[in-house]
């Protein structure tokens, strides 16, 4: 496991998202209205929609393709839909965001 610096919190618009490219694929980094940051796989469990492109509300994002609502904290689909995406731990220090990438990511990179 390793922490990677991925950028400053102000690089992400409030209630918005940016992507980080990793050996595990695209990871979406969200910033909520309350200035919390969350990282999840950028792929909706429904039809692989890019969640980073959705509308962010509360600690959730609504997928741009078919309006599934995914929790940014747990990665679980909310409401009647069932499915989940991976989440990744983040740490913020002085506004800089660090993401913990698992060993599988690093192994996959070799």
Partner 1 sequence: MTQKLVIIGNGMAPGRMLEHLFETDPNAYEVTIFNAEPRVNYNRLNLSYVLAGEKTYEDIITHSDDWYAEHGITLHKGAKVSQIERDAKTVTSENGITASYDKLVIATGSSPFIIPVPGHELPGVMVYRDLDDVEKMMEVSKGKGKAVVIGGGLLGLEAAAGLKEQGMDVTVLHLMPTLMERQLDPAAAYLLERAIEQRGIKVMTKANTHAILGVDKVEAVKLDDGTILDADIVVMAVGIRPSTQLAKEIGLDVGRGILVDDVMRTSDPDIYALGECVEHRNMVYGLVAPLYEMGKVLADHLTGGAAEYAGSVTNTKLKVSGINLFSGGDFAEGDDREEIVLRDAVAGVYKRLILKDNRIIGIVLYGETSDGAWFFDMLKKGTDISEMRETLIFGQAYQGGSPLDPTAAVAALPDDADICDCNGVCKSQIVDAIKGKGLTTFDEVKAHTKASNSCGTCAGLVQQVMQLTLGDAFNADAITPMCGCTDLGHNEVRHLIVTKGLKSIPAVMQELEWKTSCGCAKCRPALNYYLVCDFPDEYADDYQSRFINERVHANIQKDGTYSVVPRMWGGVTSSDELRAIADVVDKFKIPTVKVTGGQRIDMLGIKKEDLPYVWADLGKAGFVSGHAYAKGLRTVKTCVGTDWCRFGTQDSTGLGIKLEKFMWGSWTPAKVKLAVSGCPRNCAEATCKDIGVVCVDSGYEIHFAGAAGLEIKGTEVLCRVKTEEEAMEYIVALTQMYREQAHYLERIYKWAKRIGYDEIRKAIVDDAAKRAAYYDRFVFSQKFAQVDPWSERVSGKDKHEFNPMATVGFPQAAE
Q: Measured between alpha carbons, how far is 25 from 65 in angstroms, rounded to an integer?
A: 19
Residue 99 lies near partner 1 (rule: CB under 8 A): yes
103 contacts partner 1 (rule: CB under 8 A): no
90 binds partner 1 (CB under 8 A): no
3-class SS of residue 93 = strand
Site for partner 1 in 28-87 (CB under 8 A): 29, 32-36, 47-50, 53-60, 62, 64-65, 67, 69, 71-74, 76, 78
Q: For Cα atoms 1, 89, 102, give the angle at the middle one, nearest 5 degrees.
A: 25
Nearer to partner 1, 85 or 99 (CB): 99
Neighbour-count burial of 12, counting CB atoms closer than 10 A to its CB (0-12 exposed, 13-18 middle, 19+ buried): buried
43 within 8 A of 86, measured Cβ to Cβ? no
Give residues in contact with partner 1 (CB under 8 A): 2, 4-7, 11-16, 18-24, 26, 29, 32-36, 47-50, 53-60, 62, 64-65, 67, 69, 71-74, 76, 78, 93-94, 99, 101, 105-106, 109-110
């Amino acid at each position: 496991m390793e922490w990677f610096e991925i950028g400053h919190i102000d690089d992400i618009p409030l209630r918005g998202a940016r992507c980080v490219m990793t050996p595990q694929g695209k990871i979406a980094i969200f910033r909520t209205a309350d200035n919390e940051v969350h990282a999840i796989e950028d792929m909706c469990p429904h039809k692989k929609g890019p969640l980073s492109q959705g509308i962010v509300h509360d600690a959730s994002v609504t997928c741009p393709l078919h309006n599934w609502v995914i929790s940014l904290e747990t990665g679980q689909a909310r409401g009647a839909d069932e499915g989940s995406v991976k989440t990744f731990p983040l740490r913020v220090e002085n506004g800089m965001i660090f993401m913990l990438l698992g060993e599988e990511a690093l192994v996959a990179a070799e």
